[in-house]
Homo-oligomer: A and B are copies of this chain.
Amino acid sequence: MNVAETTTAARWTAGPAAAGGVGSRAVAMAPGTAVAPAAAPARSPLSKSQQAYESIKDKILSGEYSPGYRLVLAKLADELGVSAVPVREAIRRLEAESFLTFERNVGASVAGIDPTEYLYTMQTLSIVEGAATGLSAPFLTAADIGRARDINAAMRGCLEHFDPVRFTTLNLEFHSVLFEKCPNPHILDLVHRGWNRLRSLRSSTFNYVPGRARESVEEHERLLQLLEGGATADDVERAARGHRTATLDAYLAHSRNEAPDSVPWLP
């Protein structure tokens, strides 16, 4: 066994490369999964595979490629001025992150967003974001809380001027402030993925539930007060999860016109 290890020996120190101690938090984050792509070093001209990955992902998130949209390899390759091979690799990565679905000998299309998917994503996000916010709480400074409160004020402003797009953007910003200090990068990554998933639903029917926005702003304020009061991580987690679950319930009540508890598996 371990045939390869004994060949072409000298390069690479074989054996477990215990790279990085406690500080190396970024090591396990899948690259490029952050909601806001963290300022890229941009040293060498990025590999074409990487370019393709980012380009396609951006277009999905921006809505240029809407759900169900057919992605043809050759066409993408042409648009990017590269050959098909790097595009295939990009597609594979995007598939693994469920930005799109891929079928053998058929091709790729942008991941669907049927209502069921929305439910699943929101529920998952309620759990991981709740946990992330709870874990993040002890690290939040007064300045953080202040910043969050400012954002929430701006959201209140959006209500007056009826600017749902900006409202949604600010909403992500608000929550980012609260969960971004979560010290566990895995959990943080899951939260980012969840939000990314939801981002591609913008301009879809899911986003706006009448009245929910106003309620949401108030819940934000309550959450901030909880944090200021030095609540336990557990309480914060529960509140954050509840906030998201409430949005989901509002969506369900609105779309089905029936009580949310008709979905028995929601906590």
Q: Which of B16, B89, B124, B138 contacts A66 (CB 8 A)?
A: B16
**A127 part of interface (Cβ distance < 8 Å):** yes
Q: Which of B93, B187, B233 contacts A95 (CB 8 A)?
A: B93
Number of residues from A at the complex interface, CB < 8 A: 77
Taking CB atoms, residues of chain B closer than 8 Å to A66 are 2, 16
Instruction: Assess the B22–A233 pair: CB atoms within 8 A.
Output: no
Query: Interface segment, A97-105, A140-148, A171-179, A220-228?
Result: A97-105
The complex places the Cα of A30 from the Cα of B75 at a distance, in Å, of 25
Number of copies: 2
Taking CB atoms, residues of chain B closer than 8 Å to A18 are 68, 112, 114
Taking CB atoms, residues of chain B closer than 8 Å to A113 are 16
Using an 8 Å CB-CB cutoff, how does the interface string of A12-27 with B read, 1 for contact, 0 for none? 1011111111101101
Taking CB atoms, residues of chain B closer than 8 Å to A185 are 120
Nearest to A49 among chain B residues (CB) is B92
Q: Nearest chain B CB to A107's CB is how many angstroms away?
A: 8
The complex places the Cα of A25 from the Cα of B116 at a distance, in Å, of 8
Q: Which of B89, B98, B128, B267 contacts A28 (CB 8 A)?
A: B98
Instruction: Assess the A234–B24 pair: CB atoms within 8 A.
Output: no
Instruction: Assess the B24–A116 pair: CB atoms within 8 A.
Output: yes
**A72 part of interface (Cβ distance < 8 Å):** yes
Q: Nearest chain B CB to A109's CB is how many angstroms away?
A: 6
Taking CB atoms, residues of chain B closer than 8 Å to A98 are 28, 30
A67, A121, A138, A183: which has the most chain B beta carbons within 10 Å?
A183
**A69 part of interface (Cβ distance < 8 Å):** yes
Nearest to A22 among chain B residues (CB) is B116
The complex places the Cα of A116 from the Cα of B18 at a distance, in Å, of 10
